[in-house]
Homo-oligomer: A and B are copies of this chain.
């Protein structure tokens, strides 16, 4: 009943920030990485990916530039700003807190009174 959309919703931003934290990258590769890491179980759909890029760039957490490929399709690369790095760290901490709470809420561990 749970689908990819609901599972990732709210974390797409952080997933993209994570991909960019170790170096500039571009849409197609990020999309592929997500599929590889999750064994194809979860995926950031292209429509989601590109609208998210727009949103993050408007927010000033990423910046983009065109790569100078010789041959092949053009690539728009994205770069994490300082603010982006800060947000990434913050979101990681938040995920730790929130995922622990969801664990509690959905009864993954029995709580003693």
Chain A residues proximal to chain B, CB less than 8 Å: 1-2, 5-11, 13-15, 17-18, 21, 34, 37-38, 41-42, 87, 90-92, 94-99, 101-108, 111
Residues of chain B with a CB closer than 8 A to A108's CB: 92, 95-96
- Contacts A11-B106, A92-B108 known; 18 new A-B pairs at CB < 8 A: A1-B90, A7-B94, A7-B98, A9-B9, A9-B10, A18-B106, A21-B107, A37-B101, A38-B101, A38-B105, A41-B98, A42-B98, A42-B101, A92-B106, A95-B108, A96-B108, A99-B99, A99-B102
- A12 CA to B106 CA, complexed, in Å: 9
| Contact status A1-B107, CB under 8 Å | no
Residues of B within 8 A of A101 (CB): 37-38, 41-42
Q: Which of B21, B41, B95, B106 contacts A97 (CB 8 A)?
A: B41
- Taken together as a complex, chains A and B put the C-alpha atoms of A113 and B1 apart, in Å, by 33
Number of copies: 2
Which of A5, A87, A97 gathers most chain B CB within 10 Å? A97
